[in-house]
Amino acid sequence: MTSTKCPWDSAHLGISVKAFKGPSVTHFHALDQYQEGNSLVHRLDPRVKLVLTLAFVVAVTAVPHGVWVSLLLFLGTIAVIAALARVPPILIFRRSMIAIPFALAAITLVFTVDGTPLATLSVASRNVSITHQGTVAFASILTKSWLAVLAATVLATTTSFPDLVAAMRALRLPKVMVAIVSFMYRYIFIIADEALRLQRAREARSASPRSTAGGSLLWRTKILGGMIGSLFLRSYERSERIYSAMLSRGFDGTIRTMGAEKLRLSDLMISVTFIAYLLAVVALGTIYMEI
């Protein structure tokens, strides 16, 4: 029997994101090969996974600065969950690196928090001290931010986006927020597809820009600005057409779906056990600070 499997399917190619450029159309795929697993983590109810992820982030935030034992336990927890889900650690690590640039904004704590000086720098004829307390605070915030993104990455890697949206809806999150998130995910790939088509059109009109005067940095900047402006206008016009079509079909701000399934007893037991574990780790950190 001849296989009918899509030749550019992400699982078939062994990658998570693949852009396929055909002769007349550009097709953009974002199918994560780890979302359809059969592990204990995958089988867990999406509502439970979402709540436990939020609880994990809150617990990480509640740990006092400098309690590395608790933070190390939380890191081990993420590692165990990733192993149970059979997700490569390097994948989780690579995706979580997006948090580092934003967390670096807290580096000012090194200079602004009072404490024991570790070093003194001369900046603009002024002496600025790097304190031990400030360094610990900065390192703690950096680590906590990374752990939070690690947890969110594991959630997104083991749960399909429609299931996450359904979980948000079942947990009674604001309807407007759920609708915006849902549409954002649906149409971000359409916009990416549009951007790839614009890029193809630009390449077709400038076969070898390096050999002409038009290949300068200024020329490329103008072309890029025009592409961004065109993409914005097309996206805006598309959103207007979509919204008008939705209104004509009776859309009132609520996306109606089938009712959510009842939680299984095993899901509830895992939830209670995991939350109790989080509380124990936070309590351990608090006791450690008081000793």
CA 40 to chain centre: 22
DSSP 44: S
Residues spanned by the domain of 229: 174-203+219-260
Same domain, 45 and 154: yes
Same domain, 52 and 135: yes
Same domain, 85 and 146: yes
> What is the pTM assigned to this prediction?
0.72
Nearest to 171 by CA among 67, 44, 51, 258: 51
Q: Over the chain (291 residues), what is each successive 10-residue block's mean pLDDT?
A: 42 40 43 70 90 95 90 94 88 83 79 75 72 85 92 89 84 83 80 82 66 63 83 86 85 69 86 94 84 68
- CA separation for the pair 121, 128 (Å, rounded): 5
Beta strands 117-123 and 17-21 are unpaired
Same domain, 155 and 243: no
Quote the number of domains for the chain: 2
Same domain, 112 and 192: no
Same domain, 282 and 183: no
Same domain, 277 and 152: yes
Q: Where are the beta strands (DSSP E) in 132-213?
A: none
pLDDT on residue 210: 54
Residue 116's SS3 state is coil
pLDDT on residue 200: 82
pLDDT on residue 187: 81
Query: Phi/psi at 157 (nearest 5 deg)?
Result: -80, -30
Same domain, 131 and 179: no
pLDDT on residue 281: 93
Same domain, 182 and 118: no
Domain-located, residue 29: no
pLDDT on residue 15: 38
Find all residues with CB under 8 Å of 16, minimum gap 6, and list them.
Answer: 10, 30, 31, 32, 33, 34
Structure tokens of 259?
């009712």
Domain-located, residue 239: yes
Domain-located, residue 213: no
